[in-house]
A = this chain, B = another copy of it.
Amino acid sequence: MSTSDLEQLRTQLDDVNLQLLELMNNRAEIVQQIGQIKFKQGMKVFDPIREREMLNHLVEHNHGPFENKTVEHLFKEVFKACLELIEDDHRKALLV
């Protein structure tokens, strides 16, 4: 392994970062659409049972190298960010 290997890996990392960004925003868009339906139907946007199911599903499909607790931690952060986004959308809609 040499410095050029390091450069090559860094290029791969930059590429994966952008793919992750796109997928995170893609996820946020889907959650925004779910939020719109839920608000219209007077449903609560935060559903802890559904969130637990999603985490279990992810852990079942986790082949590492991240440990399951890390996967749970990272996805909880993503879930929280999505939830804050749709709560913010809802506040803005109420102000219109």
The residue that A66 contacts in the complex, of B24, B33, B58, with Cβ under 8 A, is: B24
- Nearest residue (CB) in B for A37 is B1
Q: Do B66 and A81 touch across chains, with their CB atoms under 8 A apart? A: yes
Q: Do B18 and A34 touch across chains, with their CB atoms under 8 A apart? A: no
Q: Do B27 and A62 touch across chains, with their CB atoms under 8 A apart? A: no
Q: Do B25 and A63 touch across chains, with their CB atoms under 8 A apart? A: yes
- Nearest residue (CB) in B for A78 is B74
Q: Do A20 and B16 touch across chains, with their CB atoms under 8 A apart? A: no
In A46-88, the 8 Å CB interface with B consists of 50, 54, 57-58, 61-66, 70-71, 73-75, 77-78, 81, 84-85
Q: Do B16 and A30 touch across chains, with their CB atoms under 8 A apart? A: yes
